[in-house]
Structures are given as C-alpha cells and as structure tokens.
Structure 1
Amino acid sequence: MNHVLCGLAANPALPPELVDRLIAIADADVAADLALREGLSRTQAVALASRVGETAVPLAYQGLLTAADVDPVAQPHVALALLDERAGDPAWARLLAADPDVELREKLASCPELPPDVMETLAADSDVRVVTELALWTTPDMAARLSRHPHAEVRRAVAANEATPPDVLATLLTGEGLPPAERCLVCDAEETPFVHDSQCPRPGCHLRSGASCDGSHESTVHEMQEQALWNPATPVEAVVRFADHSSTLVRRRLAARPDLPPWVWRRLVDDPIPGVRVEVAGNPAIDEDLLRTLATDRGHDVRRTLAHNPRVPLDVLTCLAGTVKIGPTLLPRIAAASPSEVKALATSSSPAVRMLLAQRRDLPVGIRDALAADPDAKVANSIAPHPGLSDAQLHTMVKRHGVQVVGKVAANPGASPALLEDLTRHVPPVQKAFREVARHRNATGPALRACLADRQARPIAAGHPALPPPLIVELLADDDWRVVEAAAANPSLSPTVMAELVPEPSGA
C-alpha cells in the first residue's frame, strides 16, 4: 500500500488536475480514499469507477453515478445501489429478481419502492433468505400476506417490520388465528429435536446461537415475539399479557416500550431481574412515583440508568449523583434545567452535582466563572472546555489542579496559542493534552512540534494545517504509516510537492 498516495487522495487541497492524475494510476487502496473525497465531479467519478470497479457502489450511493453510467448485467451491485437510492431503472429490478445469485436477489428484496410484480416474484422465491429480507422491508399489504408464510423465519421478519399492520403484529405476537409455521432454519438444516451449541465449532454453520427446534420452531417463535414487542406498531393490548412471561429477554423488550399502562410498569419495577428494571429506569414514559421508587433500587445499573432518564426529578438526580458513577457526560435532565434550577445546582454542597452541571456549555457567565474557580478538581475538569473562559482562568485552573485538568484545558476551544504551547511544556507531561493540542484550531508550529514527540498525538499533529510545510515533507518518510497518510493529507502540503509525489500515468 502506498500510504503517501492514500493520504493525497484524501487531501482536500489536492488540485483537480492531480486528482485526475491520481485516478488514472489508482490501485484499490488509493481508489477507496478517492471515492470518499468531497467535490468529485461526475466525470471523475465515472473515470474512477472504470479504473477500480469496487468504488462504483460507494460512488453510486453518493449520487455521483447515474443510471446512464451503469450496466446492470455487468455491474449488478451498482445497479442495486442505485435502486436502493431510488435512482435506478425499475426494469433492472425485474432483471435482478430472476438472477441466479441469491445474494443479489436478497439485496434487491431490501430496496424501497419495488414494482408490484417484482415483489410478487421475490415473495415466491425458492430461497427463504430472499423472502425474509422482503418481509423485513416490504409494504403493509405484502407484510400481511407474508405473516402467514409457512416458514417461521419469514414471520419473524414480518414482526420486525414497522410497516406491518397492527392487527397482524398482534396475531404474530399471540399466535391466535394463525396457522402453525411448518419450518424454521433449524429444522431446515438439522434433524429435530436439535439445540444449537452456542460455541458451535462447525465451519460454515449459520444457525444463531442457542437456536433450537423440537418441531414447534420454538427459538424462532420466541424471537418473533421479541421482535413484535419491540415493534412500536404492535398494539399495547396485545403486549401487556407478556408482563409475567418466563423469558427475561421478552420482559426487557416489553419494559422498553413507552405505551404501557401503569399496572404493567408497577409489575416490571418489581421484576426480580435487574436487567428488566434497568429498561424501566431508562424509559422516559414512566411517572414520577416510579422514578422515585427506582431511585432506591439496590441495583447500581438501575440507578445509573435512572440518572440518564430525562424525566428524573432533580432532587432524585442530585441524590443519585453521590451514589452512582455517572462519568463526564451531560445528562438530559441537567441539559433541560431551568435558570433557577441551574443556580441551585451551582451552589450545591455536592461536588458531584456541580460536576454534572459543569458539563453544560451554555452556562451564564457568573455561574461558569464560579465553577471554573471551584476548589474541587473534578468540577474544574468538567468546566474546563466551556467556551468563553479566559486564558487567565485556564492558567489558574492548571496552577491549582495540575495534571488533573491539563487535558481538558487543552480542549477549550478558546485556548490561546500561547497557552497551548505552555500546556505542551507542562511538567509532568500529560499525554491527553498532546492529543488535544494536536487537533486544536489554535495550535502553533512549536506546539505541534512538541506533540509530534508523543506517539498517540503524532498522527493527529501530522495532519494539522499549522504544521510548517518543511516538517510536513519530513513526515512523509515517517516509520508510522498513520503519520505518513496524515502528512500527505495535510492541506498545507505544497502543491509543488504534491505534484512531485503523484506519478504521471504511463503513456502520458
């Protein structure tokens, strides 16, 4: 792999004439990077697809190839990409529906807005994989028909399709009025009864872990129920009977739904399995009484999930902050706090609460400055990237808290070039700070040179446009291929050097 040419292929400053030259000599690796370039013309896209056929599919998905550029017989995968984007010729769908390659028919079945006659052909396909894929994406009418398909795998896919009519989903979930399925993937492949080993060593075995069949296709039926419970189109009247189901997975799926009646929530809150209660705790549809009940749950994951619930009462959240590990993240309830709530949080006696508030990046100046001066290092670390902090405030934070805040100070978008240089000279050095400085828009040549000495920051710094051009050229010969590609992709690389690096096509 030529890492210099791969980097140049991604360089946004590569002149158009050099893009053309690179297309003319591209191998598969270079072509893959060229296909992701912004600003490729249709002419360049057609030339690239002609040079390296593997690029045609991503180029089609980007809208750089049209139906006029594609031969569906020679380029079926490209034709499918355009059909998937609703930009192909409907006649291609009829051609591909009869293709002997099952993978092509399976991909076709997932395409939107297929002609009715093509859907009919795919629904009658001899390979269940094709029919299953159609069932997963098809229209309400066809989904209703396929819900009665003799193969349980097809019904499982219908249960996952959100276009399936609600009454059909209810039937799939309960099985009432539905003829039993005749086959499943397990009994297609094995003599029943059979239980698939979750650690199956057999090469080429595609059965799902734990799949089983004793003649009733039980594992697939169970999965079909899970899919229907997860499907928002399934009527709530049909799902509530599963509140006491023996399967933990089924109850977890149920607990994630936002439309359950209160009595079901109350039953699930008392579920003996913590995973079920976790799903309830994260559900924004539960009421305040249940939120407060879950705050006393002995499961750490339950309480931690509850902290992320956007409807958790603020007083409950402040209590949770001191008992569960939440980490440096902006919680939805903190993000939605009113001005008066923000003031109260800022003056909380709990550093954990102040730290959570400090994750907001829209705080009033006075509160922001107070948190920047907080004596607790975790609070200061949380507020350090907040826009608007002055160099003096950031310097003070580093002086007060040292290595605990250096990395986050370096991430402040307003950090000055001088401050960034100081941070790269901090003793002891902070590796995270080098990575932050290496990607900072205000980083200078000296700061970036210091970042090059850090193994993890070196590839990032090599691509920074403020790196001096002579140094960029040096890095083109680096031992680390990531550094080489980043340097070659650096927009500050001289066009003259770029031209020297791209060979002329043979015969030019």
Structure 2
Amino acid sequence: MRPNEIALFAEQSTDPDELRELSTSRFTAVRTAVARNVCTPDDVLELLVEDRHHLPRYGVAENPKPSALEVALGAANSSVRVAVTRRQDLTPEVVERLIQDPERHVRTNLALLTRNEKVLRTLALDPDNQVRSVLPRVALTPDDVIEALSHDSDRMVRCSVATSYRASEEQLQRLLRDKSATVRDCVVRWYSRRSDVLEALENDPDPHIARFVATVRDGRAKHGVSDTVVTDALARHRHRSIARLM
C-alpha cells in the first residue's frame, strides 16, 4: 500500500491494536492520521504528542476526543498548546488554562483567535507586554480596552496602540506628546503624511525625531501610511468584527 492509502486506513480504523502498530510508521502522514483518530489509545497519543515531526503533534491537538485534549495540554512542546488555541470547542476551563500558560506565544495566539470578550479583557492585564501589545490588532478588542492600553505603563504597548489603526484622534494626540521618545517616534513614522503630526514634533527634544521630521519635509524619507490607508483599515476592522461574531 502507498503512504496515502495507509494514512486513509489509519484515519478510518477503530482497532486500537492496529492504530498502535500504525503509530510507529515511518510515514508522517500515517502517524498524523493516527494522532487525529478518536479511537487511538491515550498512551499512543502521549507518544505522538512528542513526535519528531510537528504534524502528528498537531494531530493530537486536533483530535476531538476529550482525553486527547488533555494530552495536548500537557505536551512539553508549547507549539502543541498553540495548536489547541485554534480549536472552536474549548471549554471555559481549558481557556482558563491557556490564559495561565507559562509560554507567552500560547497566550498571544489565544488573544488573536478568541471570540470571547472576557478573555481579551483578561489578557489586557497580562504581565507580559508582548501579550498586551497584540490586543490593539485584534478586531474584537473593546474600545475601552484600547483606551486603557493607550495609557499602559509599557511604551511598546502604547506604540502598538498608535500603530494599530484603532487609536482615536484623542488617543493619537496624547501619544503624539507621550513622555517616551519611542512612542513619539512610532507616531511620527506611522503618520508622517499628516502635517499636524510633523508640526507637533519638528522641534522634538529627541534629535532623532526632529531629524526624521526634517528628512520627511525634504523628501528624503519615505512617508508612513496615508489617511486613506487608515480609513480603509478601520473599515476592514469593522467588517472583521462583524464577521467574527456571525
């Protein structure tokens, strides 16, 4: 039998002994099919979740059997838990475990994929600034959370708000005068087509910012996004927000 035929057999098999034997196949597609099969014994899944190839590992994360989900959540390789965040059938208890996951990229991926406003609000308080920085780019993040993040103690989170298309004009004007030169630099580079932004920062105390404004006005620097780009992005944001709620 060819590998794809064996994989199909593994996908359809209900015999634990057959699946156990197939789990050691040299073909990745076969091991992946075994990992996804609800009839595969848990001890076999525990081996496949540590497979040398990522596809069988992800196959365990995709397996709809409740015990397979437990195996995936206990995987040593955090990319398996990232794969779990893509599932649409996560219980509140599992989501809470993912929120508490020690690996930031698991929590970041959860923020990008969740449709749960409560989860987004919880992650907005995450101690890791990289997790908080993702939220302004998430379509379902509530406006009041964006407002709170625009006041975040971490400058990179405030930069993320400034460059996310989600900042209101009031927030943008405040970030334009942020105490951090890094934040002001983010604003001027992102909105360098706006004359009011250039004017506000032309005499900035940070020489790099003032120099950048001068190079823009001299035509020696590429402009940032245009107002049209921002408007279009906001429209796409509204469309995505509606689509994800459907």
TM tier, shorter chain? 0.5 to 0.7
Measure the CA separation in 2 of the matches of 1:409 and 1:264: 57
Cα gap change, 1:230 to 1:408, in 2 (>3 Å): farther
* Root-mean-square deviation over aligned CA pairs: 4.6
- Partner in structure 1 of residue 96 of structure 2: 315
Deviation of 1:373 after TM superposition, in Å, equals 1.2
- Partner in structure 2 of residue 346 of structure 1: 124
- Partner in structure 2 of residue 267 of structure 1: 44
Matches within 5 A, 1:279-358: 279-280=58-59, 282-283=61-62, 285-311=63-89, 313-320=94-101, 322-325=102-105, 331=109, 334-349=112-127, 351-358=129-136
Per-residue displacement from partner, 1:97-148 (whole Å, max 9, x unpaired)? xxxxxxxxxxxxxxxxxxxxxxxxxxxxxxxxxxxxxxxxxxxxxxxxxxxx
- Partner in structure 2 of residue 237 of structure 1: 13
What amino acid maps onto 1:315 in structure 2? E
Deviation of 1:265 after TM superposition, in Å, equals 6.1
Q: Quick check: 1:248–1:273 contact (8 Å CA) kept in 2? A: no
Measure the CA separation in 2 of the matches of 1:243 and 1:423: 65
Measure the CA separation in 1 of the matches of 2:183 and 2:5: 48
Q: Whose RCO is larger (CA < 8 A, sep 6+)?
A: 1
Measure the CA separation in 1 of the matches of 2:198 and 2:34: 48
Per-residue displacement from partner, 1:58-107 (whole Å, max 9, x unpaired)? xxxxxxxxxxxxxxxxxxxxxxxxxxxxxxxxxxxxxxxxxxxxxxxxxx
- Provide the secondary structure at the position in 1 that maps to 2:13: helix
User: TM-score normalised to the size of structure 1?
Assistant: 0.33
Matches within 5 A, 1:59-458: 175=1, 224-225=2-3, 227-228=4-5, 236-237=12-13, 240=19, 243-247=22-26, 249-254=28-33, 257=36, 260-264=37-41, 267-271=44-48, 272-276=50-54, 278-280=57-59, 282-283=61-62, 285-311=63-89, 313-320=94-101, 322-325=102-105, 331=109, 334-349=112-127, 351-397=129-175, 399-403=178-182, 406-407=185-186, 410-411=189-190, 416-419=194-197, 427=206, 429=208, 446=216, 449-452=219-222
Deviation of 1:318 after TM superposition, in Å, equals 1.5
Measure the CA separation in 1 of the matches of 2:199 and 2:81: 42
Deviation of 1:242 after TM superposition, in Å, equals 5.7
Measure the CA separation in 1 of the matches of 2:106 and 2:203: 32
In structure 2, runs of 5+ residues without a counterpart are 229-246
How many residues are aligned here?
213
Measure the CA separation in 2 of the matches of 1:287 and 1:359: 33
Cα gap change, 1:340 to 1:269, in 2 (>3 Å): same
Deviation of 1:375 after TM superposition, in Å, equals 1.0
Cα gap change, 1:338 to 1:326, in 2 (>3 Å): closer
Cα gap change, 1:416 to 1:315, in 2 (>3 Å): farther
Q: Percent identity?
A: 16
More helix by share: 2
Q: Quick check: 1:304–1:324 contact (8 Å CA) kept in 2? A: no
Measure the CA separation in 1 of the matches of 2:41 and 2:104: 27
Cα gap change, 1:249 to 1:336, in 2 (>3 Å): same
- Provide the secondary structure at the position in 2 that maps to 1:358: helix
In structure 1, runs of 5+ residues without a counterpart are 1-174, 176-223, 435-444, 467-508
What amino acid maps onto 1:403 in structure 2? T
Q: Quick check: which has more Rg, 1 or 2?
A: 1
Cα gap change, 1:273 to 1:342, in 2 (>3 Å): closer
Q: Quick check: 1:311–1:333 contact (8 Å CA) kept in 2? A: no
- Partner in structure 2 of residue 150 of structure 1: none
Q: Quick check: 1:347–1:354 contact (8 Å CA) kept in 2? A: yes
Deviation of 1:314 after TM superposition, in Å, equals 2.0
Deviation of 1:334 after TM superposition, in Å, equals 4.4
Cα gap change, 1:247 to 1:241, in 2 (>3 Å): same
Cα gap change, 1:386 to 1:268, in 2 (>3 Å): same
Per-residue displacement from partner, 1:183-211 (whole Å, max 9, x unpaired)? xxxxxxxxxxxxxxxxxxxxxxxxxxxxx
- Provide the secondary structure at the position in 2 that maps to 1:286: coil
Measure the CA separation in 1 of the matches of 2:40 and 2:35: 15
Q: Quick check: 1:385–1:411 contact (8 Å CA) kept in 2? A: yes
What amino acid maps onto 1:451 in structure 2? A
- Provide the secondary structure at the position in 1 that maps to 2:118: helix
